[in-house]
Amino acid sequence: MVSSSSPKVSRDVLMQGIAEGITKFENEFPLEDFSKGDYKQYPVITLLTCSDSRMPVNVFGSIFNRIFSVENIGNQFRSSEGSVLYGLLHLRTPLMIVAGHTDCGAINAAESNFVSEPLGIRNELSIVKDSLDGARRLYSVSNDDSDLKYTLLSEVNVDMQINYLLANPEVSELVKNDELLLLGVMVDLHNHYDEGYGRTYTINVNGERDIGKLKERKVLGLMAERAKRLTR
Ligand SMILES: [Zn+2]
């Protein structure tokens, strides 16, 4: 697994950033709205996304009391099944987003030999690898070593998470009754989709992967217009 060598930040600067963050949160705390809801949580989105720091949860709008966020390496349902099901079956969010992204380190690592990783990392990477193996059995993913290889795998990895969600009878029932919409997206951090850096594309809705059909779902608004995928 590749460790990144990043620009170093001093602890002073780091703590200053934290101080600014918590001060802003305190100053902007939405007490009025929060009190109207009896200080409970009423999220409308369950989000399963990669822990990658280039995948901020606020890609999908405001977070506080709106997004029930589950993050792990490689955005795996089975690494955090209980948390995701809690959002869907108890909090009853009407929307579930599974978000993958370009240059996903987890996808990359799952494709490599990761036996020397610590057990906890191996366990989670094995789950990612199993998703990718499953995807290869179901979908045609070109195995070449092109620049796009990991992006293609990230796409079908999102498809697989939606398959796993739909395999849960209670989740599938909610989808069937139109009480829950499953939206699979790719966040293109690296302009692999050729329309600009940082754009988000719809690749899967309730298991449907056909871009023509997704574009017809006008109720999705911008996310229907943004239907695009690199794999079939
Ligand atoms: Zn990632």
SS3 state of residue 162? helix
Residue 65, classified by CB atoms within 10 Å of its CB into exposed (0-12), middle (13-18) or buried (19+), is middle
Position 7 in a domain = no
Q: Examine residue 154 and state whether it is found in any structural domain, yes or no.
A: yes
Distance 42 CA to ligand 1 centre (A): 27
Amino acid 184 reads G
Tell whether the model's pLDDT for residue 3 goes beyond 70.
Answer: no
- The yes-or-no verdict on residue 1 having pLDDT over 60 is no
117 close to 125: Cβ distance less than 8 angstroms:
yes
Distance 206 CA to ligand 1 centre (A): 22
The answer to the question of residue 23 being in a domain is no
CA of 106 to the centre of ligand 1 (A): 5
Q: Assign residue 207 the CATH number of its domain.
A: 3.40.1050.10
- C-alpha span between 208 and 83 (Å, rounded): 24
C-alpha 95 – ligand 1 centre gap (Å): 21
Answer yes or no: is 175 within a domain: yes
CA of 102 to the centre of ligand 1 (A): 8
pLDDT in tens, 85-115: 999 999 999 999 999 999 999 999 999 999 9
Range of the domain at 113: 32-225
Mean pLDDT (the chain, rounded): 95
Whole-number pLDDT of residue 63: 96
DSSP string, 112-143: S--TTS-HHHHHHHHHHHHHHHHHHHHS----
Q: Is residue 14 part of a domain?
A: no
What order do you get walking across the sheet with 45-50 strand by strand? 67-72, 45-50, 95-101, 181-188, 199-205
The reported pTM is 0.95
CB 99 within 8 A of CB 59: yes
Centroid of ligand 1 to alpha carbon of 101 (angstroms) = 6
pLDDT tens-digit profile of 175-215?
999 999 999 999 999 999 999 999 999 999 999 999 999 99
Residue 107 included in any domain: yes
- Kindly state whether residue 27 falls inside one of the protein's structural domains: no
Looking up tokens 């705390």, which residue turns up? 29
Within-domain flag for 21: no
- What span, in angstroms and rounded, lies between the C-alpha atoms of 5 and 61? 30
Q: How far apart are CA 95 and CA 117, in angstroms?
A: 35
Instruction: Give the distance (Å) from ligand 1 centre to CA of residue 98.
Output: 12
Q: What is the whole-number distance in angstroms between the Cα of residue 80 and the centre of ligand 1?
A: 15
Token digits for 221?
């608004």
Q: How many domains does the chain have?
A: 1
